[in-house]
Amino acid sequence: MAKKKKDPYKTIARNKKAAHDYILEDRLEAGIVLRGTEIKSARAGNVSLKEAYVQISGEEAWLVNAHIASYQAASLFNHDPRRRRKLLLHRREILRLDAKIKQRGYTVVPTRMYLKKGRAKVEIALARGKRKYDKRRELAEKDAARDIERSFARRKQ
């Protein structure tokens, strides 16, 4: 079996659906503005990026529809789990992403959230939607590779 790469940062959440539904082209690291209860909940791993996407308005980038669960210990001062959260990017990066989004078929999706030196970061990717036949072909290739791997494993025994 292949060895897994050691992740240098603590991954909080992954968006596996993004790799399945989109062709991920260009990846960027963005900081994220979180409130106190949000970062505590994120450190506990209560984050879902399944339906999240990045929206650019003016010269600001926002993470929309990401779910960070309410923090149990903070009853009165809790946050809205699905609120828009500001992403911290350089202006030139935002303008480049905005130009690509205006082209037909491109969007920006978060692929994972992680902690780097105690700060929450989001990896975002410029993505182009996959067609249904692309998804089917990819699944068929994975199945074929798995079958080949099994046959080699049987021969070695």
Give a yes or no: residue 54 inside a domain. yes
Give a yes or no: residue 139 inside a domain. no
Per-residue pLDDT tens for 10-22?
899 999 888 888 8
Give a yes or no: residue 95 inside a domain. yes
Give a yes or no: residue 49 inside a domain. yes
**pLDDT value for 17:** 87
Give a yes or no: residue 137 inside a domain. no
Per-residue pLDDT tens for 61-96?
999 999 998 887 777 778 788 889 999 999 999 999
Give a yes or no: residue 87 inside a domain. yes
Show the domain range for 20.
10-130
**pLDDT value for 120:** 93
Q: What is the CATH number for 105?
A: 2.40.280.10
Give a yes or no: residue 4 inside a domain. no
- Amino acid of residue 9: Y
**pLDDT value for 130:** 77
- Amino acid of residue 138: E
Give a yes or no: residue 135 inside a domain. no
* Predicted TM-score (pTM) of this structure: 0.76
Count of structural domains within the chain: 1
pLDDT at residue 6 above 70? no
